[in-house]
Amino acid sequence: MSNQFERLEQETRRLLGDQRSTTKKAPRPKRSIGRTLLAVVVIVIAGWLLLHFLAGLVVWLATVLIVVAAIAAIVWAVRVIF
């Protein structure tokens, strides 16, 4: 199957010419300052929101761990006393 594909690819290149190396890339249009500034603002806002989300997630996880540790401490203390 691979051999058939290679032959087909070679035949196609022979008939059409290998244009991969001869094609020139079109020059990129110049970026506008306004569009670049808008992109920077979007990245900053998205980063700020992501940072606050992650901070909230860390606080939630720490709260859960503290509550679990407090419950374990209460159980331990009750077992020691009684």
DSSP string, 8-62: HHHHHHHHH---TTTPPPPPPPPPPHHHHHHHHHHHHHHHHHHHHHHHHHHHHHH
- Supply the pTM of this predicted model: 0.52
pLDDT digits (tens, 9 = 90+) for 12-68: 777 777 655 555 667 777 889 999 999 999 999 999 999 999 999 999 999 999 999
Report d(CA 27, CA 58) in Å as an integer. 46
Which residue did the predictor score with more confidence, 64 or 2? 64
Domain ranges of the chain: 55-82
Placement of tokens 């606050």 in the chain: 52
Output the pLDDT for position 4. Answer: 80
Q: Is the pLDDT of residue 1 over 70?
A: no
Which residue did the predictor score with more confidence, 70 or 24? 70
